[in-house]
Structure 1
Amino acid sequence: MAEQHIDITCHSPSGPERIWALLSDASTWSNWAPFDDSGLESPGSPAPDGVGAVRVFRRGRKVTRERVIVFDEPRHFAYELLHGIPARDYRADVTLEPLPGGGTAIRWRSRFRGRLPGQGPVVRLLLRRFIEDLVQRLARY
């Protein structure tokens, strides 16, 4: 099954430190992202949201779990999906670059494989819409 890719960039008037604070702290996601609840299942290093942290996001009855694999404050955050969407080998890298004159370029890159043959492109289409909305919300908050 072919690897699928999503690459989205959005600009925020906020600085990288502000965006990082929202992105890296799972407890804030239910404030700005389309989740009913968000938080940590287990802490990582540096505590509490760093490498190894398992984050949980709930929307209705749907639960998504992910593990933080890169925590390079305030520029690079990455995670791997543990549960929640029909994908294998899912990894997302979010980079924050300061813009000349202020603000931040938020770049969210994801890659994964579908669980079943032919499923990857459909999952990519749905995930792309979701991630675009997520990045725009993060940029505006």
Structure 2
Amino acid sequence: MKIQRIAAETTTEAAPDAVWALLSDRSTWPSWSPLGSHSGVRPGRDGAPDGLGGIAQFVTGRNCVREEIVEREPPRRLSYALLSGLPLRNYRAVVELTPTGTGTRIRWSASFFPGRPGTGWIYRLVLTRIFRGMVTGLAAAARD
């Protein structure tokens, strides 16, 4: 099976620090994204809920996913890996914030291998739609 790649991006008038404040606090994600409820499972190694190594769970409809923060570069980059909840292997997402004049470009991307042959296209389609909701929701929330 070949690796699948997806991405969505947008630009907001909000400064990178304002975008980072929302992005780096996963408890806010359900308020501005298509995701359902959030719960912290394990804090990061530094004791912060969303620090490096921190694990969170999101429940959206019948899906329950667990994700671990694997990279943090405030206020520019946040990466997480899927631990469970979707039939995907080696799933890793990266959110990059790039200053643009007085605003911020938000790029949310991921790569993964489908768990079963022939299913990559459906996960690309569904996750791209979710990512579009993530970037537009984050951009709007950071502006407010």
Task: Give the match's secondary structure for 1:14.
Answer: coil
Q: Which residue of 1 aligns with 2:30?
A: 30
Q: TM-score, normalised by structure 1?
A: 0.93
The one-letter amino acid of 2:133's match is: D
Q: Which residue of 1 aligns with 2:50?
A: 49
**C-alpha separation in 2, matches of 1:97 and 1:124:** 24
The list of structure 1 runs, each at least 4 consecutive aligned residues, that deviate by more than 2 angstroms after superposition, is none
**C-alpha separation in 2, matches of 1:10 and 1:128:** 13
Aligned residues: 140
Percentage of pairs with the same residue: 41
**C-alpha separation in 2, matches of 1:45 and 1:33:** 26
Q: Which residue of 1 aligns with 2:132?
A: 132
How far did 1:30 drift? Answer: 1.9
Q: Is the 8 A contact 1:86 1:123 kept in 2?
A: no
How far did 1:91 drift? Answer: 0.3
**C-alpha separation in 1, matches of 2:29 and 2:68:** 15
**C-alpha separation in 1, matches of 2:40 and 2:16:** 22
Q: Which runs of 5+ in 1 are unaligned?
A: none
Task: Give the match's secondary structure for 2:136.
Answer: helix
Task: Give the match's secondary structure for 1:44.
Answer: coil
The one-letter amino acid of 2:81's match is: E
Task: Give the match's secondary structure for 2:90.
Answer: strand
Task: Give the match's secondary structure for 1:18.
Answer: helix
Q: Which residue of 2 aligns with 1:84?
A: 85
Q: Which residue of 2 aligns with 1:115?
A: 115
CA RMSD of aligned residues (A): 1.2
How far did 1:34 drift? Answer: 2.2
Q: Is the 8 A contact 2:34 2:130 kept in 1?
A: no
**C-alpha separation in 2, matches of 1:33 and 1:24:** 14
